[in-house]
């Protein structure tokens, strides 16, 4: 990325999560993270600060109601510069998205050792905040600036900010005008979940670190605020009933690999998974409750089927970032990919066909596949015992599998692992399910007809770890259970490696 770490610290903040990933998840030698480590900032302090940057990037920059958040970040950055670096009369912070970062990087590379005008083609700088030393509480906000006057160093990295370039006025109107993004519609259930968990990432960090990163230390809600949030949530009995139902009527399954000889940090990663997965399970239960507040009767064949389907759909909605803002920070995900499978098989071959469809691309060892096969068999047996009855002929039997697995980080010595996850959302044709559980399935051919949607992510372990205490506090407040107890309720599985 053609921006020096010093320039990033002083003049740039991400305005969307893709830009956040580019800046905060870069681990190359000249990355901002490594520059900070070289400047005596600890890894935990960096993770906490980057977490706050992500929180800022999740707010709609075009919504003027959020403007105070961006102003406050700029004020903190500027004050740090005046107190710790050098005296300047003013300081400007640019809030840039992914495409603008790429365009700025390219422009700097094209003007190595030169001053240059950065004017993004067909785009604008959505927001810039300038503060002046003599009036720090009166920031100047510029929206839709045409560009900026900058300088690149000899290596083609943007290193100095001179001024904004603004549109000129023609006929009393600012040309061109840029319309605001439409406000995202959020379902009641996701909105409620966000209200309850919005404080989960807040941690007390040294004031100098917040100041260094240009973030205002968050104020924790008072007892009254937490009580009001809890009062608006489903009752503990309602949520625990839904969580216990996951084991009885499995529409969702979570599996984590557990090494027999863990490398450094593996145990902490697995503990982080348990916390994160329990967090997701409770969010899923809140979502389900708000869409179906009446209790499910799992002894009723139709209601049991509906519970399985609703659970799979709700969890898929949550893990795919469905309006729960913390998920993209904890689990930055790739693009979802769907594929259809339509294959003639028998019960004898079904296990092999399913394992290949679900895990073939991962090239897992035979021992792991054997354990995964046992888990799939247990799920199928639980569903068969419920004697599911569908409400329509076209209804599919849905299931989502969260497979957390350790993978080595390249170039580390001694070896260090990261926690990758495959979210595999299955929509199995009703006819395939009926044929698979039929008494004749062992000898008769039938069609395995299903759609698989796969989303891959790598867990931001440092961010999850930094937020663990508050996430667990929220879980206990909502359910009276900690992450370990919730994982037992939802029957989280471990696979030995």
**pLDDT score, position 136:** 63
pLDDT attached to residue 488: 92
pLDDT in tens, 285-294: 988 888 888 8
User: Which carries the bigger pLDDT value, residue 439 or residue 429?
Assistant: 429
pLDDT in tens, 50-74: 777 777 787 888 877 778 777 776 6
- pLDDT of 324 > 90? The answer is no
pLDDT for 22: 86
Residue 105 pLDDT more than 60? yes
- Assess whether pLDDT exceeds 70 at residue 154: yes
| Band of residue 259 on the pLDDT scale cut at 50, 70, 90 | confident
Statement: residue 390 has pLDDT above 70: yes
For the chain, give every domain's residue range. Answer: 5-174, 233-496
Percentage of the chain beyond pLDDT 90 is 25
Of all residues in the chain, the percent with pLDDT exceeding 70 is 79
Rounded mean pLDDT, 243-268: 90
pLDDT at 241 over 80: yes
pTM: 0.59
Taken as a whole, the chain contains a residue count of 497
Is the predicted pLDDT of residue 15 greater than 70, yes or no?
A: yes
Average pLDDT, the chain: 78
**Least-confidence region, from 100-109, 204-213, 298-307, 448-457:** 204-213
Q: Give the model confidence (pLDDT) of 68-85 as tens digits.
A: 777 776 665 544 443 443
């Amino acid at each position: 990325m053609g921006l020096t770490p010093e320039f990033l610290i002083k003049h740039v903040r991400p305005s969307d999560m893709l830009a956040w990933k580019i800046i905060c998840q870069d681990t190359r030698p000249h990355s901002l993270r490594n520059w900070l480590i070289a400047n005596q900032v600890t890894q935990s302090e960096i993770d906490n600060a980057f977490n706050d940057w992500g929180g800022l990037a999740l707010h709609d920059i075009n919504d003027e109601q959020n403007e105070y958040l961006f102003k406050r970040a700029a004020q903190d950055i500027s004050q740090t510069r005046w107190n710790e670096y050098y005296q300047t009369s003013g300081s400007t912070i640019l809030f840039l998205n992914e495409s603008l970062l790429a365009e700025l990087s390219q422009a700097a590379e094209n003007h190595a050792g030169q001053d240059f005008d950065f004017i993004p083609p067909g785009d604008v700088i959505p927001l810039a905040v300038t503060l002046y030393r003599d009036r720090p509480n009166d920031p100047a906000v510029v929206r839709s600036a045409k560009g900026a006057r900058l300088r690149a160093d000899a290596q083609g990295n943007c290193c100095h900010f001179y001024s904004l370039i603004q549109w000129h006025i023609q006929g009393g109107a600012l040309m061109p005008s840029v319309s605001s993004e439409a406000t995202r519609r959020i379902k009641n259930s996701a909105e409620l979940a966000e209200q309850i968990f919005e404080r989960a990432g807040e941690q007390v960090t040294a004031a100098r670190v917040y100041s260094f990163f240009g973030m205002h230390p968050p104020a924790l809600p008072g007892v009254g605020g937490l009580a009001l949030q809890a009062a608006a949530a489903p009752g503990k009995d309602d949520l625990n009933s839904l969580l216990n139902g996951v084991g009885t009527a499995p529409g969702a399954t979570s599996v984590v690999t557990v090494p027999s000889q863990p490398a450094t940090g593996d145990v902490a990663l697995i503990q982080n998974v348990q916390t994160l997965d329990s967090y997701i399970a409770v969010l899923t239960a809140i979502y389900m409750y708000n869409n179906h507040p009446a209790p499910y009767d799992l002894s009723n064949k139709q209601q049991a089927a509906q519970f399985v389907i609703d659970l799979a759909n709700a969890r898929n909605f949550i893990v795919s970032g469905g309006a729960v803002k913390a998920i993209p920070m904890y689990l930055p995900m790739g693009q979802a990919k769907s594929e259809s499978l339509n294959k003639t098989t028998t019960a004898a071959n079904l296990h092999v066909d399913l394992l290949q469809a679900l895990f073939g691309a991962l090239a897992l060892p035979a021992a792991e596949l054997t354990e995964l096969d046992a888990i799939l068999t247990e799920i199928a047996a639980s569903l068969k015992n419920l004697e599911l009855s569908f409400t329509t002929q076209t209804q599919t039997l849905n299931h989502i599998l969260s497979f957390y697995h350790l993978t080595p980080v390249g170039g580390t010595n001694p070896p260090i692992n990261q926690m990758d996850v495959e979210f595999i959302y299955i929509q199995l044709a009703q006819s395939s399910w009926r044929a698979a559980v039929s008494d004749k399935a062992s000898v008769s051919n039938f069609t395995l007809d299903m759609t698989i949607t796969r989303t891959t992510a790598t867990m931001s372990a440092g961010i999850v770890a930094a937020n663990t205490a508050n996430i667990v506090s929220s879980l206990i407040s909502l359910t009276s259970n900690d992450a370990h107890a919730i994982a037992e309720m939802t029957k989280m599985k471990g696979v030995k490696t």
